[in-house]
């Protein structure tokens, strides 16, 4: 049999997780943790989170979404529409997607373009954000075009991803932000291709959505009939902290088989052949929380990236799910994802989405707190980061 070594930390954490499965008990926090209801409902706390938590460096997208000069994408950085470009010198820029004339979005969707023409009055910008054309220039002849290019936000491309901040005057220090997680991310060689995008708007606080992707306790009840629940062993995980970030190690059912046996990451779905051929030794899914709003779950073929963004009220949020592939999405890899992506998107949209909204509805009624179990250690940890942020704004809850 051809032996393929699993990437990243998988070989190192597999024996720990296998032993946890053998004894039937994962990593447990020292105690349960109560999160007051107001953390999910109070507009002042939501405003404090926007000012602190969401002032942190934010993961925008995999760098390969704008692989070549001229490639661009548009997205929303929490409350800020942004245009991401790769210029002719291969440098990535993150601009506020707001025309300097009267604010219209100068680009939509994604693609490849040397120029961006605002649809309102046809002002034209290049991929470095410079304003290069104004129809009826005489109407603006007292304006210096060199000073009214697109507003650029701080950005960096590291560890295979594009990062940015919402504050244009801020500095972006990724080494400081990621700390030891930077080396961990590098150990994966994370240059991910994108095999699917799904955006959901949910009637729920953003932290309800974050919680749903920080524990496997709910898998048998919410995902019992789908590939997520059928492929994994629930409610047993390893837990490791990296500064303000963390990693869960979640066992795949094959972990108790012969250690040299090939893995079947999602048994029963009939789609695992390619994944098995790629990385037969992966029996653990590493799920990272990259503070403040990104979760990446590895898989033998790539991964899932889930991002959580607060909405205009504490009871609304958006969730962006990105299917990641380690290999270019062409040929048999594309065929795999053509079948796999709709299935995993259905799990997120039809299984996680409704239960997150249900949780949000119950909490919005204002009568109940949240009690996080010792088994929900990653939820506890993520909440502690946000609670530390809002404490700095005077909210000690």
Residues lying near ligand FES in the complex (CB under 6 A): 99, 101-102, 104, 118, 120-123
CB neighbourhood size of 336 (10 A) = 22
CB neighbourhood size of 186 (10 A) = 14
Q: Which does 102 bind (CB under 5 to 8 A by kind): Fe ion, ligand FES, none?
A: ligand FES
Q: Which does 120 bind (CB under 5 to 8 A by kind): Fe ion, ligand FES, none?
A: ligand FES
**Using CA atoms, how far apart are residues 341 and 388, in angstroms rounded to an integer?**
36
Q: Which is nearer to ligand FES, 107 or 364 (CB)?
A: 107
Q: Where are the beta strands (DSSP E) in 311-355?
A: 317-325
- Give min distance, CB of 105 to ligand FES, in A: 9
**Using CA atoms, how far apart are residues 170 and 176, in angstroms rounded to an integer?**
14
Q: Which is nearer to ligand FES, 134 or 378 (CB)?
A: 134
Q: Which does 352 bind (CB under 5 to 8 A by kind): Fe ion, ligand FES, none?
A: Fe ion
- Give min distance, CB of 131 to ligand FES, in A: 10
CB neighbourhood size of 22 (10 A) = 11
Q: Which is nearer to ligand FES, 135 or 224 (CB)?
A: 135
Q: Which is nearer to ligand FES, 18 or 121 (CB)?
A: 121
Query: In this structure, are residues 318 and 309 in contact, taking their beta carbons and an 8 Å threshold?
Result: yes
Q: Which does 99 bind (CB under 5 to 8 A by kind): ligand FES, Fe ion, none?
A: ligand FES
- Give min distance, CB of 120 to ligand FES, in A: 4
**Using CA atoms, how far apart are residues 302 and 192, in angstroms rounded to an integer?**
7
Site for Fe ion in 317-356 (CB under 5 A): 352
Q: Which is nearer to ligand FES, 123 or 395 (CB)?
A: 123
Q: Which does 123 bind (CB under 5 to 8 A by kind): Fe ion, ligand FES, none?
A: ligand FES
Q: Which does 190 bind (CB under 5 to 8 A by kind): ligand FES, Fe ion, none?
A: none
Strand order in the sheet with 245-251: 193-202, 317-325, 302-310, 294-298, 284-290, 245-251, 238-242
> In the beta sheet, which residues pair with residue 251?
284
- Give min distance, CB of 93 to ligand FES, in A: 18
**Exposed, middle or buried: residue 29 (CB in 10 Å: 0-12, 13-18, 19+)?**
middle
- Give min distance, CB of 117 to ligand FES, in A: 8
Q: Which is nearer to Fe ion, 184 or 352 (CB)?
A: 352
What is the torsion angle, in degrees rounded to the nearest 10, for the CA atoms of residue 250, residue 252, residue 256 and residue 261?
A: -130
- Footprint on this chain of Fe ion (rule: CB under 5 A): 352
């Amino acid at each position: 049999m051809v032996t393929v070594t699993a990437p990243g930390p998988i070989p190192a954490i597999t024996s720990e997780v296998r032993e946890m499965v053998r004894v039937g008990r994962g990593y447990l926090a020292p105690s349960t943790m109560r999160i007051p209801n107001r953390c999910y409902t109070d507009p002042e706390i939501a405003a404090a989170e926007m000012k602190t938590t969401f002032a942190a460096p934010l993961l925008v997208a995999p760098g390969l979404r704008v692989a070549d000069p001229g490639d661009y994408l548009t997205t929303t950085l929490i409350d800020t529409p942004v245009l991401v470009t790769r210029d002719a010198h291969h440098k990535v820029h993150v601009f506020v997607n707001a025309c300097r004339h009267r604010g219209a979005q100068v680009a939509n969707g994604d693609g490849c373009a040397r120029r961006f023409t605002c649809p309102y009055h046809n002002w034209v910008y290049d991929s470095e954000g410079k304003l290069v054309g104004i129809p009826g220039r005489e109407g603006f002849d007292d304006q210096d075009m060199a000073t009214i290019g697109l507003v650029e936000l701080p950005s960096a491309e590291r560890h295979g991803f594009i990062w940015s901040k919402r504050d244009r005057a801020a500095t972006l220090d990724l080494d400081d932000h990621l700390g030891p997680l930077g080396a961990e991310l590098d150990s994966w060689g994370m240059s991910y291709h994108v095999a699917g995008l799904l955006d959901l708007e949910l009637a729920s606080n953003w932290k309800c959505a974050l919680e749903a992707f920080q524990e496997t306790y709910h898998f048998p009840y919410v995902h019992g009939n789908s590939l997520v629940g059928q492929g994994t062993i629930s409610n047993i995980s390893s837990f490791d902290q990296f500064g303000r970030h963390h990693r869960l190690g979640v066992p795949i059912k094959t972990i108790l088989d012969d250690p040299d046996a090939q893995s079947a990451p999602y048994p029963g779905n009939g789609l695992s052949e390619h994944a098995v051929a790629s990385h037969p030794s992966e029996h653990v899914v590493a799920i990272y929380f990259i503070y403040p709003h990104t979760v990446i779950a590895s898989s033998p073929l790539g991964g899932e990236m889930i991002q959580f963004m607060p909405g205009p009220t504490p009871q609304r949020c958006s969730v962006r799910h990105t299917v990641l592939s380690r290999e270019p999405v062409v040929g048999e890899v594309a065929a795999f994802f053509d079948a796999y992506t709709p299935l995993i998107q259905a799990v997120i949209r039809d299984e996680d989405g409704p239960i997150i909204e249900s949780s949000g509805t119950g909490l919005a009624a204002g009568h109940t707190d949240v009690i996080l179990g010792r088994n929900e250690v990653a939820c506890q940890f993520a909440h502690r980061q946000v609670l530390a942020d809002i404490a700095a704004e005077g909210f000690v809850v």
